[in-house]
Amino acid sequence: MEVKTAIEKAKKNEQIAFNFLLDTFWNDIYGFQLKRTENENDAEDITIQTFSKAFDKIHTYNPDYEFKTWLIAISKNLHIDLVRKRKSSVSNTVNTNNNDDYHQIMDESPSPEDNIITQQNLAKLLRDIKKLKPHYQEVINLRYFQELSYQEISEQLNEPMNNVKVKLLRAKKLLAEIIKKK
């Protein structure tokens, strides 16, 4: 099969044409990416994405240009996107000792002190909730500790959903007043 014929058949969604194009140009695109990324996994991922995108947009291909050139342009753009994404995900690094060889990544997990503070705050909140009337305690428990939806709370309490929403709103307002008084 000739490349131009395969492209025309691919535009008509013929699977054989897609297979032919993939087999014909895989090594070119993969080799191009391997030189750019110097990483086999990244090169393979980008090559797969290149063919996926090219096959999705095959109807936009302009036959005045070489198909391989079109694929390489798509591949190059996908690589640039990958590099940009990686650069933005490393934005939380802190440079130490003016040494460019390594970065210290900030640890955002809670420290043991943070865990103790959280437990103490939760205990205070639970004591404050106990000061509410039982039906308000119940809706807060169902909504925020059991994480039920308004619909599920409505069914469990056998009350209309609007009643549940109003009860919850009222319970939060009363709880806020109790907390402010402290």
Read off the pLDDT of residues 104-146 as tens digits, 9 standing for 90 and up: 666 677 778 777 888 888 888 889 999 999 988 999 999 988 9
Same domain, 87 and 134: no
Domain with residue 45: its CATH number is 1.10.1740.10
The tally of domains found in the chain comes to: 2
> What is the phi-psi region of residue 110: left when phi exceeds 0, alpha when psi lies from -120 to 50, beta otherwise?
beta
Same domain, 90 and 122: no
| Parent domain of 19 | 3-104
On whether the pTM is more than 0.85, the answer is no
The pLDDT tens digits for 35-86 are 999 999 899 989 998 998 999 899 999 999 999 999 999 999 999 998 888 8
**CA 99/CA 143 separation, integer angstroms:** 50
Domain end, chosen from 104, 134, 164, is at: 104
Same domain, 38 and 14: yes
Same domain, 97 and 172: no
Same domain, 85 and 156: no
Handedness of CA 139, 145, 146, 150 (dihedral sign): positive
